[in-house]
């Protein structure tokens, strides 16, 4: 599932020491924070007059192994940064080649069709990787937490965590919490049900993890939350951020279908409601993040209020 931002502090000396495992020679000239999450912190580092990316996996050592395995799986099919080195001492970390494309939220609106087509095309490539069952990955991409056949894990997560006394219930308030529960129960059939197998899903497919320009195309970052599940969750996360980048839904759909992906007619509704799992997860915290919470609650309200006309409303926005 999607992550929220936190930062972990490392000194210049600590960063230089771990990087010497790969570089052997030279020195760390400077570094800056790129992003942080519940399970990692990422730096842009300048070593011997060139830029690289260093990611620490501090709170869950298994995620370093999972991301490395995912990179090996998709590296010849999906555009990703080159992983140069990975180690588990003194902390699990990885070093990547720095990608110079801008994030998609900085792309000019005149490229909306090309960008959207590329997003669809890359999602089709990601989802082309299939697994005999659905669930959360462990080492070597084995399924350690199984999604049972016939279950609806994204729907079930929402109901399990949106309960009186939970943080998400308190942030939403009683009236809105009950409204959301009623809505997802009424539209339960729009949540994906686990069938015979799962496909690879990125599970954090949003502008901060997506780079693009007209020459190099798309690059997808941050795979530590990838799992075997249902493709629609990636669309849900992306569509929640529809106002943050130049999106053309028709070209997103075309790029996906032209590259072997299949979508049902009401896929936009299915994507938006499935994304409730991420919204509920992000709201279910004791931390107070007014700006983030406001955007998440607005997304819930948008889906509920525009349910019967979601696609045309999104296309006009």
**Dist. CA 220–CA 200, nearest whole Å:** 14
Identify the band that residue 37 occupies on the pLDDT scale cut at 50, 70 and 90: low
Q: What is the pLDDT of residue 63?
A: 78
The backbone torsions φ and ψ at residue 21, rounded to the nearest 5 degrees and listed phi first, read -65, -30
Q: What is the pLDDT of residue 146?
A: 94
The residue that leads in pLDDT, 226 or 40, is: 226
- Using CB atoms within 10 A of its CB, is residue 100 exposed (0-12), middle (13-18) or buried (19+)? exposed
The residue that leads in pLDDT, 89 or 216, is: 216
Q: What is the pLDDT of residue 177?
A: 98
36 has a pLDDT exceeding 90? no
User: Is 234 within 8 Å of 205 (Cβ atoms)?
Assistant: yes
**Dist. CA 92–CA 71, nearest whole Å:** 16
The residue-averaged pLDDT of 3-19 equals 76
The residue-averaged pLDDT of 37-43 equals 72
198 has a pLDDT exceeding 60? yes
User: Is 15 within 8 Å of 43 (Cβ atoms)?
Assistant: yes
6 has a pLDDT exceeding 70? no
Q: For 108, what's the count of Cα atoms within 13 Å in the CB-facing half-sphere?
A: 4
Q: Which pTM was predicted?
A: 0.92
Domains and CATH numbers, the chain: 12-97 (3.30.200.20), 104-316 (3.90.1200.10)
pLDDT over 70 percentage in the chain: 95
**Dist. CA 39–CA 56, nearest whole Å:** 8
8 has a pLDDT exceeding 90? no
User: Is 236 within 8 Å of 310 (Cβ atoms)?
Assistant: no
Identify the band that residue 7 occupies on the pLDDT scale cut at 50, 70 and 90: low
Q: Which two tokens stand for residue 232?
A: 């629609």
pLDDT over 90 percentage in the chain: 81
35 has a pLDDT exceeding 70? no
**Dist. CA 176–CA 181, nearest whole Å:** 9
């Amino acid at each position: 599932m999607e992550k929220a931002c936190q930062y972990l502090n490392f000194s210049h000396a600590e960063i230089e020491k771990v990087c010497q495992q790969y570089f052997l020679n030279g020195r760390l000239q400077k570094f800056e924070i790129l992003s942080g999450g519940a399970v990692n912190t990422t730096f842009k580092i300048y070593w011997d007059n060139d830029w690289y990316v260093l990611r620490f996996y501090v709170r869950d050592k298994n995620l370093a192994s999972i991301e490395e395995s995912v990179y090996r799986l998709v590296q010849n099919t999906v555009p990703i940064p080159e992983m140069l080195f990975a180690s588990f001492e003194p902390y699990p970390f990885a070093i990547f080649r720095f990608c110079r494309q801008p994030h998609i939220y900085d792309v000019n609106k005149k490229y909306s069709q090309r960008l959207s087509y590329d997003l669809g095309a890359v999602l089709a490539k990601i989802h082309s990787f299939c697994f005999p069952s659905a669930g959360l990955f462990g080492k070597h991409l084995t399924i350690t937490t199984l999604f049972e056949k016939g279950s609806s894990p994204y729907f079930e997560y929402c109901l399990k965590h949106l309960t009186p006394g939970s943080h998400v219930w308190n942030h939403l308030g009683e009236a809105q919490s009950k409204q959301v529960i009623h809505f997802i129960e009424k539209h339960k059939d729009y949540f994906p049900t686990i069938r015979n197998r799962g496909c690879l899903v990125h599970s954090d497919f949003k502008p901060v993890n997506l780079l693009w320009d007209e020459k190099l195309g798309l690059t997808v970052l941050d795979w530590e939350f990838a799992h075997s599940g249902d493709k629609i969750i990636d669309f849900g996360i992306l569509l929640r951020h529809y106002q943050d980048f130049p999106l053309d839904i028709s070209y997103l759909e075309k790029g996906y279908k032209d590259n072997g992906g299949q979508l049902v007619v009401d896929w936009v509704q299915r994507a938006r409601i499935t994304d409730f799992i991420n919204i509920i997860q992000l709201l279910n915290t004791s931390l107070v993040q007014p700006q983030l919470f406001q955007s998440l609650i607005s997304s819930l309200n948008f889906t509920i209020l525009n349910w019967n006309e979601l696609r045309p409303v999104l296309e006009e926005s």
